[in-house]
Amino acid sequence: MKVFDVIINALFPNKCIACGSIINRDEFLCDYCYGKIERMDYFKACKRCGLPKKLCECKNRVFHFSGVTAPFYSGDIAKAAMYRFKFNKLSFCSRFFAYEMAKAIKNTYFDICFDGIVYVPMSTIKKLKRGFNQSEELAKGLSKILGIKLYKDVLVAKHKPEQQHNMSLKERFKNVKGIYSFNKKVTGKTILLVDDIKTTGATIDECAKQLLLAGANDVYCVTGLLTKPKERKKMNGS
Ligand SMILES: [Zn+2]
Ligand SMILES: [Zn+2]
């Protein structure tokens, strides 16, 4: 190791994005977190709702999107990494999730040719407060990795959704109604919709609906994490 690298490592040690323990410079997770993080098994997951087939929620429900994929289910490790990214805008967390989401897309949507990437928008007030929209950051990363065009500002959020973690599934779907609208047409396009977390799917469903109204041919979703039904109460996403 060069002297310069030794000094940099001593001054700015690279830390596991989930637990904060010190790791090698080119890694994102420590060995423990890497082994424990709950990855989606693409063969055992429902292609539509993304949940393990035995927990599938597609029955008796009509979604506006054609599929959901994600690299991880929201166990403690993946959640800790996502929250670090969401609340601190750590660019290496964004790189980690974008890289893992790109792998999920290649595994799940290998036969689909996307025209463009759209992200779930954030209301202006919320974006000003936080300083960035995490879904937009992930979409930018994915656009670079996958070489798919980023369609900016296609969707807009009218106002801030209420915190949804205590709401039932029905209430969450009702809560996001009318919040999103489209700004631009995407006629005839096959869209990859990006969000940070899928909880019930209410947000991405409402956004997919708007994209179809804007003329999209088809909408497929990718999120950083996907929440299983029993963990929903603990999550803020929708
Ligand atoms: Zn760790
Ligand atoms: Zn399903």
Residue 33 Cα, ligand 1 centroid: separation in angstroms? 4
Residue 83 Cα, ligand 1 centroid: separation in angstroms? 14
Which ligand ends up closest to the CA of 55? 2
Distance of CA 215 to the CA centre of its chain: 23
Per-residue pLDDT of the chain (238 residues; tens, 9 = 90+): 677 777 777 777 888 989 989 998 888 999 999 999 999 999 999 999 999 999 999 987 889 999 999 999 988 899 999 988 887 767 778 899 999 999 999 999 999 999 999 999 998 888 888 888 999 999 999 999 999 999 999 999 987 656 666 677 777 777 778 899 999 999 999 999 999 999 989 999 999 999 999 999 999 999 999 999 888 766 555 5
All domains of the chain in start order, with CATH: 1-36 (no CATH), 37-234 (3.40.50)
Burial letters 19-44, b for 16+ CB under 10 A, else e: beeebeeeebbbeebeeebbebeeee
Which ligand ends up closest to the CA of 44? 2
